[in-house]
Structure 1
Amino acid sequence: MSESNTQFENRKRDHIRIALDPRSQTEGQTGLDSIELIHEALPDLNFKEVDISTSFSFLKTNIGLSSPIFISSMTAGHEHGREINMALARLSDRRQILMGVGSQRRELSDSNAAEEWSQVRKQAPKARLLGNIGIAQLIKTPLDGIRRLIEATEAVALFVHVNPLQEVLQPEGTSDFKNSLQAIENLVKFAQVPVIVKEVGCGFSVSTLKRLNDTGIFAVDVAGKGGTHWGRVEGYRSEESEMLYQVAQTYANWGISTVESLLNAEQARVSYEVWASGGVRSGLDVAKLCALGAKKVGIAKPFLEAALTGDMALENLLNRLETELKIALFCTGSKTIAELATKKVIR
C-alpha cells in the first residue's frame, strides 16, 4: 500500500525529532578516538598560509570549494524540511561548500514536491547541491524519472543511498534490494552527473567496496557507524510494545565504524574517490579522516541543529569547523589538505 502525503509528512517529522534525540546516536563508535595526528612543534609555515580549499572535479567540470567539509543529506519533501533546506542551501551558496539534499523519493510520485527546489534556488542560486535517491527506488524507477530529480535540484552530482537496515526496520520501508549493482551501473551510464553511493550510518565492508569498483561510480561516501543510527531512529518511531521497536534494540549497534570503513576502502584498493561521514563533530575529526584518505567529509547533525536556530548559527558552526581544520593542518606542518593526506601524520 502506497504511503499517503500525510503519512509521509509524519514520517519525516518523526525522523527530524528522533535524529536529534541522544538515544539515536552511536556516540564513541566512529573509531576516531583511536586516531591521533602527530604534533609538529616547528611547522615550516605561517598559519595564514594554511589553505583548506579544495574542488569538486568531474570531466570538464571543476567547482571550487572552501574546504572538504560538506553538508550531509538529511531531509526533504515536507514543509518543515523546506525551511531547513533553504537555510542550509543559503550557507552552501555563501560559503562554497557542497550540500547533500534529503531523499527525493516523494518527487517520484508527487510532481508538486519538486517545487521545493525552485524555491530553494531562488534564495540560493549558487548552492552546490547533491541530489539523492534510495537504491530501492532506483531499482524500480525508469531512468527518465531519475533525470527529473537531478534537473529539479540542478544537482552537480547524485547520491544513491543504500540503507538495508533502515528499510527493514521502517514500517513503510522498501526492502527489495535485488539487482542493486545493475541499477547503479545503468544509472552511471545514463546520468550526466557523477554518481556517489552512500550508506546512512552502517558503513561498508571490503567486499562491498570491491563490488562497486567496476560500476563507474565517481565516489563512495562510507557513512559509517558513529553518528545518527537510522536503525535506532526507525525503532524509536514504534511503540515499546511493538516488535519493530524490540528488534531495533537488537541492532542498535549494528554497522561498520567510519574509520574502519575508510581503512576497508584502502584495503580494497578502489579506483573511485572515497568520502567519509558518520559521527563527525569537529574540524579535528575532519582532519583525521582527510589524513586517512577521505576526499570530502560530511557532517549532518550539527548542521541540522544549527539550521533550526538560523543563519548566524550556521555561519558560526562552519567558521568553527574550518578554523579547527586549519589548526590541525598547521600543527601537523601541512600547508594544504593534499599535504595532510600524503604526509605521515597519523599515529
Structure 2
Amino acid sequence: MAGYGVAGHQHGHHGGADGGKHVPLHEREYIQDPVEELERKWSFEWGFSGVNSFAHLEHVKCLTKPDSTFDIGIIGVPFDTAVSYRPGARFGPRAIRAASARQNSFRGFNARAGINPYLSWAKILDCGDVPVTPFDNFVALEQMTSSYLELGHRSPLSSLSSRPKLISLGGDHSIALAALRGLHKVYGGPIAVLHFDAHLDTWHPAKYPSPWPSEQAQFNHGSMFWMASNEGLILNGSSVHAGLRTRLSGVDWADYEDDDSQGFLRISSDDIDDIGPKGVIDAIMSRMGTEVPVYLSLDIDVLDPGLAPGTGTPEAGGWTSRELIRILRGIEGLNLVGADIVEVAPAYDGVGEQTALAGAQVAYEILTSMVKRGLKDMGKVAEVPGGKGEGNKDEL
C-alpha cells in the first residue's frame, strides 16, 4: 500500500523475508513509494469518487494557465441573469459535471463511433468555470467573450486541430453570443449554427415588451442569435434550428419572417413524426455539409419536460433523449469548431437528475464526434465491427 510499496513487496507475501509469517502493514518499515507507483495505485477513481470534474478529466484552470495545452476543453459558464422565466442555470455546470461521474477513460469506448474519445489523439481537459459576475450583464458578457478569445487563441497540443475546441456547460443560452463573438475573431469569419431548441432564439428584442426599455436588455437568452446575426457572426443560409415547438408573438407569422431574414432552416419537433430521426439528420447534413465550420448550440429544453424537467423555459411536446442522441450520432461528420449545452437548471430536476444526465450524455456525444472528425481528417476513421448505429451502415 502507499508508503509501504517496497517493504510490502518484500514482506507482504508468504515465504518471503518474514519466514512465511504475514507482517501487518502498519508494523512494516515505511519506505516512500516512487512516483510511478503512487500514480499506479492512487490515480484510479470510481464513478462515485474523486473531485467533481467532467468525466474525471484532469482539472486545470485553463484561463490562468496559458502553458497548459489542450485540444478540447470543457468550460463551465455559470451565468443565468439573462433569462426570461425561471433562473437557476448558473448551477448547470456543476450538475452536468456530477452527472458525468460514470464516464471515465477506462470505460469510455463509444460503440457507435468505434473510439474512446478519452483515449484517442485529443488532450481533453476540464478547464473549470468562467467566473462570471451575477450583478452586471454588460460586464458578464465582456468576461465571457474575453474568456473565449483567450482560450480560442491558444495553440492546441495536437497538430490535428488548428485551434483548440471548447464545449461550454451553461448557464443560460445567452452565453452563445460570447462564444460566437470569440469564434468569429479566431476563425476570421462567420460560423454556421446548429441550434437544438424548443424556441427560435432569433427574437427581435422588441418582442420582449417593457415600459422600461434599455439597450442592455436586448442581450437575453431569446435574442442572442438575433444580435449575433446582426453583427455578422452567423453564416446565414447554412444554419439550422431543430426541435422547435414554441408559441410565437402577436397574431401572425412575424417571428418566422424575422427568422427567415437571418437565414435559418427550421425543423420542428413534430417533423420527427413524419420523417423520423434519419430525416432530421439528412436535413441537417444537406443544409450544413461537412466542411463549413459549425457551432452546435443545444438547449436542453429541446427534450420533452417529462423527460428533462430541470430547465428554465419548459415546453411540452419535445423529443425524447433517445431521439436526440440518435440525431447527434448521425451528424458526426459536421465540422464542429465549438459547442454548448445550456439551460440545465438542477433546482427543477427530478431526484434521478435526469436532465443533468441527459446534458452529460450530450456532451459525451459531441466530444466523441469532435475526436472522430480529427481521425477522419488524418485518414484514420475508426471501424465499427459488428456495431450498431451510424457507424455501421449495413445494420438496421
Mark yes or no: TM-score above 0.5. Answer: no
Quickly name the TM-score band, shorter chain normalised.
0.3 to 0.5
Query: Normalization by structure 1: what TM-score?
Result: 0.36
Looking at CA atoms only, which structure, 1 or 2, has the larger radius of gyration?
2
More helix by share: 1
Question: Higher relative contact order at CA 8 Å, sep ≥6: structure 1 or structure 2?
Answer: 1
